[in-house]
Chains A and B, each alone.
Chain A
């Protein structure tokens, strides 16, 4: 079909489905949509319809709708970075940018990571469910699927080299009646086809060993054992610290606001803190990867934010050892574009229900809703109650936190990992929605391959793959604790009583690697404030330690960077 005809066909399909007329144009296999639609959802539908055509490589969706957020570039604050020059600049300090940074540090390339926030990974990565998905649920044959199964398989090595807690707990699909038992071989077959290694059908005795206390009617199930859970905050920091140790430089609180090209080659990036020269630009900008593409004059996709909410229970409630799945959950899977969420334990021993999937207008929308909470609870609590009748019932009173994050989805709903077709030096790792975390090591490797094929850098013979994390009081036995306190008495002062995080760990997090600057950054690194009282006890103490160690006034300490100041000033009668 020629592009004009295709455009008309797409227009017709959109009108059929939504009742709205969009202006559709196609150039170089990229569809561009304009118009004004009554809702975000209808605009998103138009995007998906267009992307459904195979000849369409990408969809740029400019359809306006009520509530659409205009995009504004942040203001420049200084010129301090002007004059710097790197071989590679990576935009985005999420797990993808960081994994790429570490991969590239295996070569003699000077590399910089630029991140707009004052800490790493806090857009998508930190709001994920920290699950290393099996490939069973991703669409066969997509890039997503390939990266998923490859990335999953790489995690044992990544976690051990980077000293990050990681455990393969498996996804357990259980049959609740003879009809469902009949379907178990099909599950094994699908998992095998998807390249999840060695899925196993289990009998009751085997089930009891990995998921004790299942309901009596559960007699058989399938274990897809390669599902993992990881400490995602630790992973972020670990990738960054290791990359840093191998020479990568980090610029936080810095936004990329422009891309300079010359005769189709990357020349430099403009940032809020000055212009940095480079000839390779890796676009790992998550929610804003389409904007970076646009700035480079290579616009061929639009990111549409899809929000996911998650609820987390107190550690005293641990009814599931695996990612426990019933056939009813699989059947009920709501959205075509997400895996439907689940009952997911975390590596720290808290159970999660999540995530939901909802198209939203604002890429920055990380607000939680009571509808989200109710939906999660009503969907998963009955399953858990049914499958694990001997355990305490799920209880809303045991929820300790509820959070949300947006997935950076494209309309093609697949990852984009490729060199730009227009701009030499621009490499994409974009549209990395779920299971982007599970895929990260494979994505990084793919990006590395693209770069070495084109530029042939020499290997960095000093590359050190290993990184050690700081000591954690809560993980040590008595003797090790004794020793630690003897070398540094700050480890004898427990600041967070829920998670047993000590002052020693907090001070360490404020000084090592990518130093924590805010209360939330401390929380992500040390777990102080992550327990059942959610910082009710330790937050003022953490604030005090940050102020002391960073030598800043307490009023300047933030919750999470920017203007998120915790205090608003001194009282009238200051005692001290």
Chain B
């Protein structure tokens, strides 16, 4: 099978990338999705708040996905469902499997990675104790409730204050379950402010910062957890243990970009974002392979995801149609003081540079985001690790850069 642009994954990133590749003149666009429907993780996010920026509408996840899917359906973008990509080589040969075609190869002039992210599970955070039923990632619980129509449990403790966990706290409360509390190891919340207000405060669900689960109890089904307060080094404080009876523990302890394929293709991953290091065009270190959405870095908002998808699709189309020339070598974009996450990692002088920044710690006083060597200082009233900051640096301001671009957050 041959294609101009092949997009792997059909979440908001992949859908947008496929549309944008099509609109940018790629003739044969192929969209591969391992699930039986398009839409990615949004299909199970039945709460609202999607597309405020992109469509100026307050959609639920499925509505948002539906809108993109409708647009895709009007095009000749070829969609293969139930199709899992199992291998990608550095020269862009894709191997996929599906029940109808078996194993097959795709040669594509360019490739867009849009595989999204997965949730961190119990093993990777090492909670000691027994191994009963009743411990799920928040996303699994979300799928049980929203897609399958089942309740994972009745008395619930949530570890981690990620957005999915908070959204599930509200959802499960509405379904009649008792959510006993959300415990967060950091001294600031992991998710968006609006979710703390709308999902926890409005339902009187307590959020305990600087707390973690230190033991799991129960033989067959979970019987309870021990929670402890932690010190500044995030170590449990002896004597602060408290047993909380519950039959379910939901983990909302972070998302990790899904990069098995990228690794196989020899694509350099950023140790910070855990996704492919890309330029502002979303091109990875492997020529002709682009990446976007949560496979690149975990974004807070689907609008940001879509924006990277748009860019990746457009540039993948340019690459495929031969309209791709790099006039100058790219330069590094380096996170400096108070910056934990910075995306993209390189600048190649082809587009405006749209930076996505997460601060290293909560800063609740006025600050400035300094972009050097440009004399660019963007003033903000606060910066929080759980709220990504987006900054656009126009292309013409960057043309004289020769070495690297550094981003610092300075408290004023």
CB distance from B129 to the nearest CB of A (A): 5
> Are the C-beta atoms of A533 and B144 separated by less than 8 Å?
no
| A488 nearest in chain B by CB position | B99
Assembly CA distance A402 to B215 (angstroms): 13
Q: Cβ of A515 < 8 Å from any Cβ of B? A: no
> Are the C-beta atoms of A564 and B99 separated by less than 8 Å?
no
Which residues of chain B are within 8 angstroms of A366 by Cβ–Cβ distance? 130-131
| A540 nearest in chain B by CB position | B143
> Are the C-beta atoms of B149 and A396 separated by less than 8 Å?
no
Q: What string of 1s and 0s marks CB contacts (under 8 Å) between A355-388 and chain B?
A: 0000000001011111011000000000000000
Q: Cβ of B285 < 8 Å from any Cβ of A? A: no
Assembly CA distance A505 to B145 (angstroms): 27
Given contacts A533-B121, A567-B150, contact A539 B128 (CB under 8 A): no
> Are the C-beta atoms of A564 and B118 separated by less than 8 Å?
no
> Are the C-beta atoms of B123 and A572 separated by less than 8 Å?
no
Contact for B133 among A485, A560, A574, CB less than 8 A: A560
CB distance from A364 to the nearest CB of B (A): 7
Q: Cβ of B124 < 8 Å from any Cβ of A? A: yes
Q: Cβ of B84 < 8 Å from any Cβ of A? A: yes
Count chain A CB atoms within 10 A of each CB in B126, B129, B149 and give the residue with the most: B126
CB distance from A524 to the nearest CB of B (A): 13
Q: Cβ of B122 < 8 Å from any Cβ of A? A: yes
> Are the C-beta atoms of A536 and B151 separated by less than 8 Å?
no
Given contacts A536-B139, A540-B140, contact A367 B220 (CB under 8 A): no
> Are the C-beta atoms of A568 and B154 separated by less than 8 Å?
yes
Which residues of chain B are within 8 angstroms of A485 by Cβ–Cβ distance? 97, 99, 102-103
| A538 nearest in chain B by CB position | B140
> Are the C-beta atoms of A492 and B140 separated by less than 8 Å?
no
CB distance from B288 to the nearest CB of A (A): 23
Given contacts A494-B34, A536-B137, contact A403 B131 (CB under 8 A): yes
CB-contacts of B90-104 with A (<8 A) = 95, 97-103
Q: Cβ of B86 < 8 Å from any Cβ of A? A: yes
CB distance from A372 to the nearest CB of B (A): 7
Given contacts A367-B129, A399-B124, contact A567 B139 (CB under 8 A): no
Assembly CA distance A182 to B95 (angstroms): 53
CB distance from A194 to the nearest CB of B (A): 36
Q: Cβ of B11 < 8 Å from any Cβ of A? A: no
Q: Cβ of A571 < 8 Å from any Cβ of B? A: yes
> Are the C-beta atoms of B133 and A558 separated by less than 8 Å?
yes
Count chain A CB atoms within 10 A of each CB in B99, B121, B133, B148 and give the residue with the most: B133
Q: Cβ of A4 < 8 Å from any Cβ of B? A: no
Q: Cβ of B270 < 8 Å from any Cβ of A? A: no
Given contacts A367-B128, A536-B121, A572-B176, contact A490 B144 (CB under 8 A): no
Which residues of chain B are within 8 angstroms of A490 by Cβ–Cβ distance? 99
Which residues of chain B are within 8 angstroms of A486 by Cβ–Cβ distance? 102
Q: What string of 1s and 0s marks CB contacts (under 8 Å) between A470-498 and chain B?
A: 00000000100110011001101110011
> Are the C-beta atoms of B176 and A396 separated by less than 8 Å?
no
Contact for A494 among B84, B134, B152, B221, CB less than 8 A: B84
Q: Cβ of B362 < 8 Å from any Cβ of A? A: no
Contact for B100 among A373, A478, A489, CB less than 8 A: A489
CB distance from A481 to the nearest CB of B (A): 5
> Are the C-beta atoms of A566 and B152 separated by less than 8 Å?
yes
| A559 nearest in chain B by CB position | B133
CB-contacts of A539-576 with B (<8 A) = 539-540, 544, 554-555, 558-576
Q: Cβ of B330 < 8 Å from any Cβ of A? A: no
CB distance from B275 to the nearest CB of A (A): 15
> Are the C-beta atoms of A555 and B150 separated by less than 8 Å?
yes
> Are the C-beta atoms of A575 and B149 separated by less than 8 Å?
yes
Which residues of chain B are within 8 angstroms of A565 by Cβ–Cβ distance? 133, 221
Q: Cβ of B214 < 8 Å from any Cβ of A? A: yes
CB distance from A97 to the nearest CB of B (A): 23
| A563 nearest in chain B by CB position | B220
Q: Cβ of A53 < 8 Å from any Cβ of B? A: no
Assembly CA distance A534 to B251 (angstroms): 13
Assembly CA distance A105 to B247 (angstroms): 44
Which residues of chain A are within 8 angstroms of B101 by Cβ–Cβ distance? 492
> Are the C-beta atoms of B133 and A564 separated by less than 8 Å?
yes
> Are the C-beta atoms of A559 and B103 separated by less than 8 Å?
no
Which residues of chain A are within 8 angstroms of B132 by Cβ–Cβ distance? 559, 564
Q: Cβ of A337 < 8 Å from any Cβ of B? A: no
Given contacts A539-B140, A563-B220, A571-B149, contact A367 B97 (CB under 8 A): no
Given contacts A482-B103, A535-B121, A564-B220, contact A367 B126 (CB under 8 A): no
| A504 nearest in chain B by CB position | B99
> Are the C-beta atoms of B123 and A400 separated by less than 8 Å?
yes
Which residues of chain B are within 8 angstroms of A492 by Cβ–Cβ distance? 82, 97-102
Q: Cβ of A253 < 8 Å from any Cβ of B? A: no
> Are the C-beta atoms of B151 and A571 separated by less than 8 Å?
yes
Assembly CA distance A567 to B140 (angstroms): 11
Q: Cβ of B219 < 8 Å from any Cβ of A? A: yes
Contact for B219 among A364, A478, A535, A544, CB less than 8 A: A364
> Are the C-beta atoms of A367 and B247 separated by less than 8 Å?
no
| A500 nearest in chain B by CB position | B86
> Are the C-beta atoms of B99 and A493 separated by less than 8 Å?
yes
| A539 nearest in chain B by CB position | B140
Which residues of chain A are within 8 angstroms of B103 by Cβ–Cβ distance? 478, 481-482, 485
> Are the C-beta atoms of A540 and B144 separated by less than 8 Å?
yes
Q: Cβ of A401 < 8 Å from any Cβ of B? A: yes
| B129 nearest in chain A by CB position | A367
CB distance from A247 to the nearest CB of B (A): 33
Q: Cβ of B336 < 8 Å from any Cβ of A? A: no
> Are the C-beta atoms of B219 and A533 separated by less than 8 Å?
no
Assembly CA distance A305 to B119 (angstroms): 36
Which residues of chain B are within 8 angstroms of A494 by Cβ–Cβ distance? 34, 84, 86, 97
Assembly CA distance A132 to B230 (angstroms): 42
Contact for A570 among B143, B149, B247, CB less than 8 A: B149
CB distance from B148 to the nearest CB of A (A): 7
Contact for B151 among A367, A493, A567, CB less than 8 A: A567
Given contacts A554-B150, A568-B154, contact A368 B119 (CB under 8 A): no
Q: Cβ of B71 < 8 Å from any Cβ of A? A: no
Contact for B128 among A368, A533, A569, CB less than 8 A: A368
CB distance from A365 to the nearest CB of B (A): 9
Contact for B126 among A402, A489, A498, A562, CB less than 8 A: A402
Which residues of chain A are within 8 angstroms of B145 by Cβ–Cβ distance? 571
Assembly CA distance A571 to B173 (angstroms): 11
CB distance from A62 to the nearest CB of B (A): 25
CB distance from B69 to the nearest CB of A (A): 19
> Are the C-beta atoms of A537 and B118 separated by less than 8 Å?
yes
Q: Cβ of A216 < 8 Å from any Cβ of B? A: no
Which residues of chain B are within 8 angstroms of A372 by Cβ–Cβ distance? 128
Assembly CA distance A482 to B124 (angstroms): 35
Which residues of chain A are within 8 angstroms of B121 by Cβ–Cβ distance? 533-536
Which residues of chain B are within 8 angstroms of A493 by Cβ–Cβ distance? 82, 98-99
Assembly CA distance A478 to B191 (angstroms): 43
CB distance from A232 to the nearest CB of B (A): 17
* Sampled A-B contacts (30; CB under 8 Å): A312-B123, A364-B219, A366-B131, A367-B129, A369-B128, A373-B128, A402-B126, A403-B131, A481-B103, A489-B99, A493-B99, A494-B86, A532-B123, A532-B124, A533-B121, A534-B123, A536-B119, A539-B136, A540-B148, A560-B133, A560-B220, A566-B133, A568-B151, A569-B151, A571-B149, A571-B150, A571-B151, A572-B176, A573-B149, A576-B149
List of 6 A-B pairs having minimum Cβ-Cβ separation, nearest first: A492-B99, A559-B133, A489-B99, A564-B220, A564-B133, A574-B149
16 extra interface residue pairs, beta carbon distance < 8 Å, beyond A369-B128, A373-B128 = A373-B126, A400-B123, A400-B124, A402-B126, A481-B102, A485-B102, A492-B100, A536-B139, A540-B148, A562-B220, A563-B220, A563-B221, A564-B133, A567-B151, A568-B247, A572-B175
